[in-house]
Amino acid sequence: MKLTDEQIDMMKEDVCAELIALLMKDRQCTMSEAIDMLYNSDTYSRIQDQSTGLYYQSPGYSYAFLQQELLTGDYRREMF
């Protein structure tokens, strides 16, 4: 079954909403700060890029990339 563009957009919005909630919880920040962190990240760009497929992964999986990026400045860099 092929997803429509509308379905894909909804999936992107859902995962982003979950990531914002996780940022607020884990970093004790406001919604505005969490939105800023997400929207200015490479992880957000990758979620928006359909070719990566990150939009249909679980929020936890995507959050691991975002955490890594926020800690190291690059989602590809090892934390340790």
Q: 26 is written with which tokens? A: 């884990």
Asked whether 35 and 13 are in contact (CB, 8 A), the reply is: no
CA angle 30, 61, 36 (to 5 degrees): 25
Tell how far CA 38 is from the center of its chain: 6
Alpha carbon distances (Å) from 59 to 15, 19, 48, 80: 6, 6, 14, 23
Q: What is the pLDDT of residues 8-51, one digit of tens each?
A: 999 999 999 999 999 999 999 999 999 999 999 999 999 999 99
The reported pTM is 0.88
- At 78, the pLDDT band (50, 70, 90 cuts) reads low
